[in-house]
Amino acid sequence: MKEIAHLLFETRMLKDIDRSGYAFLGSGRESIAEHSFTTAFICFTMAKIEPEVDSEKLMAMALVHDIPEARTGDHNYVHKKYNQVDEAKAVSHLAAGVAFGRDIQDLINEFNLGETQEARLANDADQISFILELKKLKDTGAVSPEKWLPLVMGRLKTKTGKQMAQSIMETQWDEWWTREYSE
Amino acid sequence: MKEIAHLLFETRMLKDIDRSGYAFLGSGRESIAEHSFTTAFICFTMAKIEPEVDSEKLMAMALVHDIPEARTGDHNYVHKKYNQVDEAKAVSHLAAGVAFGRDIQDLINEFNLGETQEARLANDADQISFILELKKLKDTGAVSPEKWLPLVMGRLKTKTGKQMAQSIMETQWDEWWTREYSE
Amino acid sequence: MKEIAHLLFETRMLKDIDRSGYAFLGSGRESIAEHSFTTAFICFTMAKIEPEVDSEKLMAMALVHDIPEARTGDHNYVHKKYNQVDEAKAVSHLAAGVAFGRDIQDLINEFNLGETQEARLANDADQISFILELKKLKDTGAVSPEKWLPLVMGRLKTKTGKQMAQSIMETQWDEWWTREYSE
Amino acid sequence: MKEIAHLLFETRMLKDIDRSGYAFLGSGRESIAEHSFTTAFICFTMAKIEPEVDSEKLMAMALVHDIPEARTGDHNYVHKKYNQVDEAKAVSHLAAGVAFGRDIQDLINEFNLGETQEARLANDADQISFILELKKLKDTGAVSPEKWLPLVMGRLKTKTGKQMAQSIMETQWDEWWTREYSE
Amino acid sequence: MKEIAHLLFETRMLKDIDRSGYAFLGSGRESIAEHSFTTAFICFTMAKIEPEVDSEKLMAMALVHDIPEARTGDHNYVHKKYNQVDEAKAVSHLAAGVAFGRDIQDLINEFNLGETQEARLANDADQISFILELKKLKDTGAVSPEKWLPLVMGRLKTKTGKQMAQSIMETQWDEWWTREYSE
Amino acid sequence: MKEIAHLLFETRMLKDIDRSGYAFLGSGRESIAEHSFTTAFICFTMAKIEPEVDSEKLMAMALVHDIPEARTGDHNYVHKKYNQVDEAKAVSHLAAGVAFGRDIQDLINEFNLGETQEARLANDADQISFILELKKLKDTGAVSPEKWLPLVMGRLKTKTGKQMAQSIMETQWDEWWTREYSE
């Protein structure tokens, strides 16, 4: 149990690390924990749209996909050019000691390989989580998202992911509550 | 898909709402999204400890358990005394339109009833997520957590939850990386 | 005096609770205490414009109108749909024990009924405080205020309130100092 | 009305200026608007304890006492040693143009002279507003307030102010809600 | 050494004081320490462009030019109208006790007189540091910088400063990394 | 000049990146720009204590020592275990195009090698900048600095650095102004 307590405190750290892309975008902010929650919830909805996928695996993959960043830090596009991140080592260290460490490693490996449908969907969810943020920033007055949205859209691989993102692009961020607004 | 875009923007709002308990604690802060991520990850680990539980359901329950708070707001102990929250109505509205709305409703109902083992574990994870935060605040110099930790501990229902929390209490928040520290 | 100390600490809490509407607006932030100050100062000016009103009552009403929110939380448009707030109970509890508790209750009741000229002005001041914020956000680049300003303007009831708001709409937020600017 | 719009935007600025003492205390923060709200509410309660004072004048004095700081900035103990603040000029400029400008000037002058009972109470309220903040910081783990609380207490002039502050010192900041807490 | 420790803690305070101009701009924020770093780095580059200037003096001047603001506070355009700042007294007090206090005084005096080429460049660097911030805010969606940029540009005195600022105006804030961007 | 504009915007980014160690410390925050300013100012004082060193080089070294972190990110103790940072590549890219790029490279190389007295002092200044922050946090109530201060002290190499740090340890963070305090 001691090792699990360590793992939980390690994962807790994702609340205290902001995603480094927003400083370079010039607007917005988000912790890794917030990003991970949104990604996992998007995976929950994807599993409903594609009921043949392994929903448990899909959500678990989203929950753990950024956990190694407590050890490695979060690297944006520029940072990646100058850092060789040994994510495998980070995963191996965080997994060591907990009985189910191997499961975490397998999930992250599968996510990174992106070969299974679950991995492809989880990777799309990772991008859609960012698209949601960019769309909100755009709708509220930020300038930079206009430039990035098409590029991030272009990273999507699955039909479900593309449709979901397309729908987000056609929706105002506050429509979910303003459409029923009356004074 | 339009309805799913609405649901995702609604869920995204959990990043922008801070949990209201921390103002009354006098230290710390956390968004609902951050809390939900930690709760879901705790559920992921619980399912590894209790392999007979429905892991998919457990994680899904954690991911959705606070989603209605985008509509209701987050209410701390004091707020609850003066608000009659119609969570069912919030859930029904957020679920309306999406094909899998019924699934979300069922998960939240099960969480609230707390009768299945999955629901009991998810409720304990909800508290353990708070215990992690209180323990970190205590370890770094805040005074109030000392008073609240025993009370929150007392809310735990499952053997796994109690053991996990006990282990957290016996662990320094930064031990996961300081134990291997060397200059 | 002990009860007054409690009341002051309770009121102090309004500094630590942000008004929940700004997250849904997507720009800006403001604590309830900041909002209450601005509302009370607007009432001070209104009493100068309408010297026949009870200035003392008007300012006092503004100062206390949101005090129950330390117990109830601040609810925006969406939250109100899903919360039945027992503000009367909150007021009764916060007023209990202090000798002048009844005075606070009476002021809040009068504010809520909105039947006296003082209450109508205080309610308008409550809205004008929001209009000032929206106008500043609009002038500095936020997109959403454009949509909300006409709606909030429409809530105004008094001639003084309407004139004041109209004048705010015709004034740049920084004109008070930029009009005398010289290098 | 244009001049009143200017005055309201000027007063709104008090939300965006933090009181400079907290950086030197090393803990906490507070905007001038938040401080002014608390000061005005303390004056509201003082007028209830001392019903013979002019309650309207007392509250108005608290509301306007820091308004010139939009033009002058907020100066802590150290800053005051190196700045000769022409508050009178600031007041005269902010008051110019509005019909009731003279009233604001008179209130600020009376506050600064500290000769009337209303002015003495308002000055004590100004300090008690700070004492409330220091006591909260102390109760939650900050070290510096211990040193400052006796000094700030020593600035109080009125019997009501002294009793109120004494009572605050004997009260835990969260007692107003924790005394009725039950799991 | 004790006096140097005092001076270092005093200088450290510049991290905790935000430059007061941004609240009046309505967008952005920056500590005095951040501003001083940027100013000093600009001076470093200026010394490379004008190798005949005393590079050591130029950088030192930038590093110390705002140190007295720990004692005086940072005053924006409006604040300066109502404060007579005794910067010389602040400098004399902060310099007292340290053996090289006279050097600091001389550097600040030279900066303020603006007669040497090093002082003119340092003053331009002070403005260019602000121009960089305004340009970034403009490029990311803020409205106010459009109005201020020409005015701040007009304050520049040196050929190097003017060319540098002109080049900043013709450059997108994120071009340094986006020009090499590829998916 | 275009390349210099790029370099300045790149360096400006150091204001928007927080040093990653504070999240792991559990208290405090600081941008890289703030850290760089303090480090450079400490170097300025060191050059006064050791007049035989090359003051220009010492300050320049401090100003540029963390500039590559705009491209690489800031890595704390844990992050360094899992990242192979190609700082040389980052320096080479940021230096490319500017005529004095080679000078920046040389300064950073000398800093990293730590063989000259200037490099040794600059490295100590880098640590003392952190010690100042830890001491302030300790003096104001944080718990973790107690554990880290001796370790960071142990990294110091120069006699001047050690004496300076020792003096900081024996000085209260607010003594520079409280020693002359009187009500």
Q: Is A162 on the interface with B (CB under 8 A)?
A: no
* Burial of residue E18, with CB atoms counted within 10 A of its CB: 0-12 exposed, 13-18 middle, 19 or more buried: buried
Q: Is A17 on the interface with F (CB under 8 A)?
A: yes
Residue E45 has its nearest CB partner, among F4, F40, F166, at F4
pLDDT digit string, tens, across residues A159-178: 999 999 999 999 999 999 99
Q: What is the DSSP letter of C18?
A: B
Q: Is D17 on the interface with C (CB under 8 A)?
A: no
CB count, 10 Å around CB of F53?
Answer: 21
Q: Is E148 on the interface with C (CB under 8 A)?
A: no
Measuring CA to CA, which residue among C101, C111, C87, C104 is closest to residue C39?
C111
Q: What is the DSSP letter of C13?
A: G
Measuring CA to CA, which residue among A162, A145, A143, A142 is closest to residue A153?
A162
Residue C141 has its nearest CB partner, among E24, E78, E142, at E142
Distances (CA, A) of E159 to E37, E50, E60, E121, E162: 22, 10, 21, 9, 5
pLDDT digit string, tens, across residues F42-53: 999 999 999 999
**Phi, psi angles (nearest 5°) of residue D119:** -65, -40
- Judged by CB atoms closer than 8 Å, whether chains meet at D87 and E86 is answered as no
Q: Is B142 on the interface with D (CB under 8 A)?
A: yes
Exposure string of C114-136, with b = 16+ CB inside 10 Å and e = fewer, is: eebbbbbbbbbbbbbbbbbbbbb
CB count, 10 Å around CB of D134?
Answer: 25
- Residue D33: partners with Cβ closer than 8 Å, 6 or more residues away: C33, C34, C37, C38, D14, D15
- CA dihedral for D118, D121, D127, D128, sign (positive or negative): negative
pLDDT digit string, tens, across residues A102-144: 999 999 999 999 999 999 999 999 999 999 999 999 999 999 9
- CA dihedral for F41, F47, F50, F51, sign (positive or negative): negative
Distance CA D157, CA D160 (A): 9
- Judged by CB atoms closer than 8 Å, whether chains meet at E174 and A144 is answered as yes
Provide, as residue numbers in chain A, all residues whose Cβ is less than 8 Å from the Cβ of F19.
none
Distance CA E108, CA E62 (A): 9
**Phi, psi angles (nearest 5°) of residue D76:** -85, 180
Distance CA F13, CA F30 (A): 13
**Mutation test of the interface with chain E: which of D9, D18, D79, choosing the one with the most E Cβ atoms within 10 A?**
D79
**Phi, psi angles (nearest 5°) of residue E84:** -100, 105
Provide, as residue numbers in chain E, all residues whose Cβ is less than 8 Å from the Cβ of A151.
183
- Judged by CB atoms closer than 8 Å, whether chains meet at D31 and C34 is answered as yes
- Judged by CB atoms closer than 8 Å, whether chains meet at D26 and F136 is answered as yes
- Judged by CB atoms closer than 8 Å, whether chains meet at F136 and D77 is answered as no
Distance CA E104, CA E108 (A): 6
Q: Is A136 on the interface with E (CB under 8 A)?
A: no
In which residue are the tokens 């008051």 written? D95
On whether the CB atoms of residues E78 and D86 are closer than 8 A, the answer is: no
Q: Which residues pair with F31 in a beta bridge?
A: F18
ipTM of the modeled complex: 0.98
Instruction: Give the pLDDT of residue A18.
Output: 97
CA distance C81 to chain B (A): 8
Q: Is B115 on the interface with A (CB under 8 A)?
A: no
Q: Is C18 on the interface with B (CB under 8 A)?
A: yes
Q: Is F102 on the interface with A (CB under 8 A)?
A: no
Instruction: Give the pLDDT of residue C1.
Output: 87
- Judged by CB atoms closer than 8 Å, whether chains meet at D82 and E84 is answered as no
pLDDT digit string, tens, across residues B44-79: 999 999 999 999 999 999 999 999 999 999 999 999
> pLDDT per position in chain D (183 positions), as tens?
899 999 999 999 999 999 999 999 999 999 999 999 999 999 999 999 999 999 999 999 999 999 999 999 999 999 999 999 999 999 999 999 899 999 999 999 999 999 999 999 999 999 999 999 999 999 999 999 999 999 999 999 999 999 999 999 999 999 999 998 998
Distance CA C123, CA C117 (A): 10
Report how many helices (DSSP H) and strands (DSSP E) chain E contains, helices first. Answer: 12, 1
Task: Provide the mean pLDDT of chain A.
Answer: 97
In which residue are the tokens 């692009």 written? A169
On whether the CB atoms of residues F18 and F30 are closer than 8 A, the answer is: yes
Residue E26 has its nearest CB partner, among C136, C181, C183, at C136
CA distance B144 to chain D (A): 6
Distance CA E169, CA F182 (A): 49
- Judged by CB atoms closer than 8 Å, whether chains meet at D140 and B144 is answered as yes
Q: pTM, whole model, 2 decimals?
A: 0.97
On whether the CB atoms of residues B14 and B38 are closer than 8 A, the answer is: no
pLDDT digit string, tens, across residues B130-182: 999 999 999 999 999 999 999 999 999 999 999 999 999 999 999 999 998 99
- Judged by CB atoms closer than 8 Å, whether chains meet at F181 and D24 is answered as no
Residue A100 has its nearest CB partner, among B37, B48, B59, at B48
- Judged by CB atoms closer than 8 Å, whether chains meet at D63 and C59 is answered as yes
Distance CA E150, CA E132 (A): 13
Low-confidence stretches of chain E (pLDDT beneath 50) = none
Distances (CA, A) of E83 to C13, C94, D17, E31, E108: 33, 43, 16, 21, 19
- Judged by CB atoms closer than 8 Å, whether chains meet at E142 and C139 is answered as no
Q: Which residues pair with C31 in a beta bridge?
A: C18
pLDDT band, residue A179 (cuts 50/70/90): very high
Q: Which residues pair with F84 in a beta bridge?
A: A84
Distances (CA, A) of F8 to A171, E24, F2, F81, F94: 38, 24, 10, 30, 10
- CA dihedral for A31, A32, A37, A42, sign (positive or negative): positive
CA distance E100 to chain D (A): 22
Q: Are strands D83-85 and E83-85 parallel, antiparallel or unpaired?
A: antiparallel
Residues in chain F: 183
Residue E72 has its nearest CB partner, among D16, D82, D89, at D82
Distance CA A2, CA A98 (A): 9
CA distance F1 to chain E (A): 6
* Chains with 3 or more CB pairs under 8 A to chain D: B, C, E, F
- Judged by CB atoms closer than 8 Å, whether chains meet at F139 and D141 is answered as no
pLDDT digit string, tens, across residues A11-39: 999 999 999 999 999 999 999 999 999 99
CA distance F56 to chain B (A): 31
Distance CA B67, CA B48 (A): 25
Instruction: Give the pLDDT of residue A35.
Output: 98
**What Rg do the C-alpha atoms of chain B give, in angstroms?**
17
CB count, 10 Å around CB of A54?
Answer: 14
Distance CA B145, CA B164 (A): 18
3-state DSSP call for residue F74? coil
In which residue are the tokens 């299974």 written? A116
- CA dihedral for B56, B59, B65, B71, sign (positive or negative): negative
CA distance A37 to chain E (A): 25
On whether the CB atoms of residues F83 and F26 are closer than 8 A, the answer is: no
Q: Is C176 on the interface with E (CB under 8 A)?
A: no
Provide, as residue numbers in chain D, all residues whose Cβ is less than 8 Å from the Cβ of F177.
24, 77-78
Residue of E nearest to C137 (CA): E26
pLDDT band, residue F34 (cuts 50/70/90): very high
Distance CA E25, CA E138 (A): 12
* pLDDT above 90 for A1: no
Q: Is E23 on the interface with C (CB under 8 A)?
A: no
Distance CA C168, CA C162 (A): 10
Q: Is B27 on the interface with C (CB under 8 A)?
A: no
Low-confidence stretches of chain C (pLDDT beneath 50) = none
Q: Is D27 on the interface with E (CB under 8 A)?
A: no
